[in-house]
Amino acid sequence: MKPTTLRALIRLAFKLLSRVTAIGLEGLPKSGGYILAVNHLSRVDPPLVFYLIERDQVTALVAEKYKKYPFFRWIIRIVDGIWINRGEVDRHALRQACDFLQGGGVLGIAPEGTRSRSGALMPAKTGVAYLADKAGVPIIPAAISGTDGAVWQLLRLRRPSIRIQFGAALVFPPIQRNEREAALQRNTEEIMCQIAAMLPEKYRGVYADHPRLKELLGAAPQL
């Protein structure tokens, strides 16, 4: 199966089974590589992003644990997903990701490193900030809500309402070696606060009281 065929099938499924509201889609770059940094609530999230971003090169970092599931392995192969061992610094995966981004691809990554079981944001790792600096690409923050209960609603024969909002591109100055850790942490907090600002209050989690988030919310309508 070709990625375009897969995208069409996923689009049809979402249109039939859910109500999707996508905000800011028109502002996404039409060319060039970038990282899509998005909160992760459900296994529904990756196909949602994949069908909405209609670019030839769109994929994601995928935990190696999913290799043991034939269906997931088949899907990941179609979209040229990049397998990563989340239990260590996977330098091979990072090199693949960097090459993909520098080649003009769109790479989806959950900065938290895994799904949030509660739905609320968890402390993020600095991998997204590191990779963006390494590849020299911008980061687009994105916020998803409503997918955490989507499957349960479908089982009850209800169409879930799903919302995704894409923010403005974040471009950080090159990180200097002597301030590497501090800069990575600072950039990561900015990414997460930008995501939190686009989420309903109950999803903001550990970033709910962050001073930067309060600053962002003060300049935008609250959800």
Kindly state the average pLDDT of the residues 6-17: 94
Task: Give the number of C-alpha atoms closer than 13 A to the C-alpha of residue 196, restricted to the C-beta side.
Answer: 29
- CA dist., res. 24 & res. 88, Å (int): 34
Q: For residue range 15-63, what is the model confidence (pLDDT) as tens digits?
A: 999 999 999 999 999 999 999 999 999 989 999 999 999 998 999 998 8
Residue with tokens 């974040």: 170
Helix (H) or strand (E) holding 34: strand 34-38
- CA dist., res. 208 & res. 55, Å (int): 33
Amino acid 220: pLDDT: 57
pLDDT reading at 66 higher than 90 = no
Going by pLDDT thresholds of 50, 70 and 90, the confidence category of residue 153 is confident
CB 191 within 8 A of CB 124: yes
- CA dist., res. 220 & res. 223, Å (int): 9
Sort strands 19-23 and 161-166 into parallel, antiparallel or unpaired. Answer: parallel
Which has the closest alpha carbon to 168: 190, 147, 189, 150?
190
Domain boundaries, the chain: 20-218
Query: From residue 7, how far is each of 29, 54, 73 by CA, in Å?
Result: 19, 8, 17
- CA dist., res. 219 & res. 38, Å (int): 21
Amino acid 219: pLDDT: 64
Query: From residue 77, how far is each of 3, 73, 148, 160, 161 by CA, in Å?
Result: 10, 6, 25, 28, 29
pLDDT reading at 125 higher than 70 = yes
Name the DSSP letter for residue 111: T
- CA dist., res. 40 & res. 18, Å (int): 18
Going by pLDDT thresholds of 50, 70 and 90, the confidence category of residue 132 is very high
